[in-house]
Amino acid sequence: MQEAERPPTTSRRVFIGAATIGLLAGAPIAALAAVPGQDPDAELLGLIARFDALERRINLTYQEGHPAHIEDDHERDAFKAPMEAEQEELLDRICDLEARTLQGFKARAAILILWSAEAREAASGEAAEFWHDRLLGALLRDITREARA
C-alpha cells in the first residue's frame, strides 16, 4: 500500500532549541573520535565529527539569547552557506563509507538525530503514523541510548 503524501514540514532548524540540546548536548560526536590506523571507522568518525561540529555551530545561530544567534535571515544564510557547502561534501563521503563498528553506527545515528527534526521526534518515542517511522525511531533511540544517559 502506498503511503499518503505528507504535508510539508517545517525547516529542520525550527525545532532546534531544547530538543536538540537536551538530546545530544553532552555528547558531541567528537567524543567518539577514533584512533587513525587502529579503528576501521576512523575516517567515517572523523567526517561525522566535522559534520557534527558544523551543524552545532549553525544551530546556535537560531538560538535566541545565545551570543552566536543571528536574527536576520539573510545574514544567517550568508554566514551558514560555506558551512552547509562543506557539510554537503562531508555527507557525500559519509554516505559512501560503510560503518564497520558499533561506534560508527552510533555516530551515524547521532548525527541523523542532530540534523533531522523527524528523526529526533521518532527517537523520542513519540508514536509515529507510519510503521517504518516507528521502527526507525526505535532503532535510533536504542543505538543512541548512551549519548542520552
Among the listed residues 23, 6, 3, the one whose alpha carbon sits nearest the alpha carbon of residue 115: 23
In this structure, what C-alpha cell is assigned to residue 147? Answer: 549519548
Q: Evaluate whether residue 52 is within a structural domain.
A: yes
Q: Evaluate whether residue 85 is within a structural domain.
A: yes
Q: Evaluate whether residue 32 is within a structural domain.
A: yes
Number of separate domains in the chain = 1
Instruction: Say what the pTM is.
Output: 0.71
Q: Evaluate whether residue 126 is within a structural domain.
A: yes
Q: How far apart are CA 138 and CA 46, in angstroms?
A: 26
Q: Evaluate whether residue 7 is within a structural domain.
A: no
Q: Evaluate whether residue 137 is within a structural domain.
A: yes
Among the listed residues 3, 33, 17, the one whose alpha carbon sits nearest the alpha carbon of residue 114: 17
Q: How far apart are CA 1 and CA 97, in angstroms?
A: 32
Contacts for 4 with CB less than 8 Å, ≥ 6 apart: none
Q: Evaluate whether residue 91 is within a structural domain.
A: yes
- In order along its 149 residues, the chain shows pLDDT tens digits of 454 444 444 344 433 433 343 444 445 665 455 566 678 999 999 999 999 999 999 999 999 999 999 999 999 999 999 999 999 999 999 999 999 999 999 999 988 888 887 888 878 877 777 788 888 888 888 888 776 55
Q: Evaluate whether residue 8 is within a structural domain.
A: no
CB atoms within 10 A of CB 28: 17
Q: How far apart are CA 84 and CA 46, in angstroms?
A: 17
Full DSSP string of the chain = -PPPPPPPPPPTTTT-HHHHHHHHTT--GGGG---TTT-TTHHHHHHHHHHHHHHHHHHHTTSTTSTT----HHHHHHHHHHHHHHHHHHHHHHHHSPP-SHHHHHHHHHHHHHH-HHHHHHHTTPPPSSHHHHHHHHHHHHHTHHHH-
Domain encompassing residue 138: 17-148
